[in-house]
Amino acid sequence: MPPSQRSATAPSLRPFGVRWRWALLLMLAFGSGLLVASNPFRPSSENPAGTARAYLRFKEILSYVDRDYVDSADTEGLTDYAVARMLEKLDPHSVYLPANEREKADAFLKSSFEGVGLDFYFFRDTATVSSTLRSGPAEEAGVRLGDQLLRVGTKEVAGAHLTSSQLTALLRGARSSAVVLTVQRPGQPEPLSFTVMRRRLPNPSVEPGTVLADQQTGYLKINRFAGSTYDEFKKELDGLRRQGMTRLVLDLRGNPGGYLDRATRMADEFIAGSRKLVYTDGKGEQYDTQTYAHVPGDWEQGPLVVLVDENSASAAEVLAGALQDHDRALLVGRRTFGKGLVQQPIALQDGGELRLTIARYYTPAGRCIQKPYGRDAAAYQHELAERERRGELTSADSIPVAKELRFLTDHGRAVYGGGGIVPDVFVARDTVQNSAYFTHLCRRGVLRAYALAYYQHHKAALAALRPAQYQASFQLADAELAGVGRLGQLAGLPAGGAALRRCAPLVRHFIKAYVAQSVYGSEAARAVLREDDAELQQALQAVKDDTALVAILQQS
């Protein structure tokens, strides 16, 4: 979801039609590829004298700066800067997290949090409530869809140029603590204030599974690998099986990773016997590991297709790579991110944490998942943009193939290393519709704002429609589409014109989904988004094609 529309305190609708590369990279740095283990300090025996000299040199220079520099110097800030630059010289994913950042990074991997239970989006620097968690603290206190947040406690938030994460931090807090939310409600002359008691709320990583229109294909989306992901996955998979699912589409698009063991436990549900799932290779043998399947899984034989894209990373790539190497699933989409470095979290005395790369991930066939990186951190950060520039997102022929890194799957199919997992079936990204103008419409909250206004003006008519009727009949007229362009101008965008016409199908589709969310809830919105999902449609064709799947579904 665009940064201006991310959830503050409740699980939110996350459309898979829009990708935010820098947000993914932040998660990759802070929360992915983690091994769960302790790591007490043990000085290296390889170069103790050199390490000692370097430590004394830094200590001496810092002391001189602190004592003699002409102006006052923030020595802690300088140390943080030096540490960050030092780690950049190692690899893109070794990072130091100060104590105040560590909690934020850990929240990504937690299955619950303390909050008030509302979603919001920003439009013209004002946060508007886009949904409230059913029976959550905010709803029970009286906060409603469409309320504009003016103050959180004593803090002015309207027009304060806050980021989503800053506003989220204000809304979250200790369990049972109270916060007063002051809002402006449309139609009310004066602001309203509500006292909301924070409490622990679920933060699911697996979206509710659904059986699609053919009544045979189950669809399950995994957004990240957090603490409760495996248990959530098992629950949803069991529910799909009880509904008569005979084939499964597993969606890993946009999944930035998380805990490795959750991903391998999930792989074990699909892969029979005691076959290798992943291995890591580090310095010496200390961090070398091999993980194998070892339990009878719940879906070891049924047809399986996995959706991946350029934002599938780390643990998601481990799962996809294992399924592909063992010919257990057909992968559909685009080449994955290529994050195959393993970070060890090391608690530091100041409350911060060092996440140090200690190994690399390899698929069962021997492919290294990590894409190449050099000393240019900026180039690595913009690698996805470079893929788009050279045409990789629209043409399979543009995907780089390292012929010397050729490996074979269990049934002898050729797969290649060099970074990321290349899918078996390529689906181009529509870069015409996914234009910069459409990105700005999303990022500035224009589509959300228009959808909410539409819902408020047509509430009675929409309430009379059942979800299936709405899904079959809703269509944004041309005159209404022009209204989106005018709202975009209010948000500071240039007049849409041709740019708006080019992305009109996406604009219509997303507004239809956002209106559905207001009327029926997030599940109805996700159902709308699945209607026009090219990658999912390709996956459905593949999972239904017995001829295409026979090679990978046969017993080894």
Q: Are strands 247-251 and 304-308 parallel, antiparallel or unpaired?
A: parallel
Instruction: Name which of 130-134, 292-296, 377-381 the model is least confident about.
Output: 377-381
Distance, in Å, from the CA atom of 462 to the CA atom of 79, rounded to the nearest integer, reads 58
Residues 348-375 as b/e (b if ≥16 CB within 10 A, e otherwise) read: eeeebbbbbbbbbbbbbbebbbbbebee
- Asked whether the predicted pLDDT for residue 332 surpasses 70, the reply is yes
What counts of helices (H) and strands (E) characterise the chain?
21, 21
Mean model confidence pLDDT for the chain? 89
User: Which residue numbers are catalytic?
Assistant: 314, 325, 339
What are 177-219's pLDDT values in tens digits?
Answer: 999 999 999 989 999 999 999 999 999 999 999 999 999 999 9
Neighbours of 467 (CB within 10 A): 15
- Asked whether the predicted pLDDT for residue 337 surpasses 90, the reply is yes
- Asked whether the predicted pLDDT for residue 172 surpasses 60, the reply is yes
State the DSSP H helix or E strand holding residue 374, giving kind and residue range, or none if neither.
none
Q: How high is the pLDDT of residue 152?
A: 97
State the DSSP H helix or E strand holding residue 16, giving kind and residue range, or none if neither.
none
- Asked whether the predicted pLDDT for residue 119 surpasses 90, the reply is yes
Nearest to 174 by CA among 152, 151, 199: 199
434: pLDDT confidence band, cut at 50, 70 and 90? confident
Contacts of 351 (CB under 8 A, 6+ apart): 98, 99, 102
3-state secondary structure of 320: helix
Residue 301, judged by CB atoms within 10 A of its CB (0-12, 13-18, 19+), counts as: exposed
Distance, in Å, from the CA atom of 71 to the CA atom of 119, rounded to the nearest integer, reads 45
- Asked whether the predicted pLDDT for residue 460 surpasses 80, the reply is yes
- Asked whether the predicted pLDDT for residue 432 surpasses 90, the reply is no
Nearest to 261 by CA among 319, 323, 327: 319
Please, are residues 268 and 294 in contact by the beta-carbon 8 Å criterion? yes
Written as six digits, the tokens of 547 are: 């001829």
Q: How high is the pLDDT of residue 430?
A: 84
Side chain identity at residue 539, one-letter code: A
Distance of CA 23 to CAs 193, 218, 298, 390, 554, Å? 33, 29, 34, 22, 39
Q: How far apart are the first and last CA of the chain?
A: 40
